[in-house]
């Protein structure tokens, strides 16, 4: 399923019918404005802190030295990664939902493999907010067996 407005308003909330499915992929693409300081993408099963299945937050506060991405869930300390995402540039983030983890790619580069904090089917909300323009959101179906 692809949603295709020109851009999505921030904050953006989407209810994922049936939750995230194993072997599916979520693709988010758009533009990070030049003045961006940070934005986040979050999958959750509710609107409280312990509901967070995966949170990816891009931080540009320390530019020109380093842009970072933090990854966490409700029970985990953040993992900090150097970010391939940069203000003033387009971005594509792909999140593959595997049996044991989320495999996260940013601008074609593998970013991290983050273990599930609870079953993906329970992640029924997608939230995104911050200094970002989301232009494309796709939920790609699971791959057929044997492929």
Peptide bond into 64 cis (omega under 30): yes
In angstroms and rounded to an integer, the radius of gyration of the C-alpha atoms of the chain is: 15
pLDDT per residue over 103-134, tens digit each? 999 999 999 999 998 899 999 999 999 999 99
Q: What is the CATH number of domain 2-93+116-140?
A: 2.60.120.200
Please, what's the b/e burial string for 64-86 (b: 16 or more CB within 10 A of its CB; e: otherwise)?
A: eeebbbbbbbbeeeeeebebbbb
Q: Which residues contact 103 (CB under 8 A, 6 or more apart)?
A: 95, 96, 110, 113
pLDDT per residue over 24-69, tens digit each? 999 999 999 999 999 999 999 876 656 889 999 999 987 666 788 9
The ranges assigned to domains in the chain are 2-93+116-140
pTM reported for the whole predicted model = 0.87
């Amino acid at each position: 399923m692809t949603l295709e407005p020109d851009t999505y308003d921030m904050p953006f909330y989407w209810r994922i019918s049936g939750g995230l499915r194993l072997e599916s992929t979520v693709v988010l693409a758009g533009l990070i404005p030049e003045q961006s300081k940070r934005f986040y993408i979050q999958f959750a099963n509710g609107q409280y802190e312990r509901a967070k299945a995966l949170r990816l937050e891009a931080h540009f506060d320390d530019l020109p030295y380093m842009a970072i991405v933090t990854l966490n869930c409700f029970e985990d300390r953040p993992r900090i990664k150097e970010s391939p995402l940069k203000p003033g540039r387009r971005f594509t983030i792909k999140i593959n939902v595997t049996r044991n983890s989320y495999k996260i790619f940013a601008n074609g580069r593998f970013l991290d493999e983050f273990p599930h904090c609870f079953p993906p089917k329970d992640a029924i909300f997608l939230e995104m907010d911050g200094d970002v323009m989301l232009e494309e959101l796709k939920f790609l179906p699971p791959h057929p067996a044997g492929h």
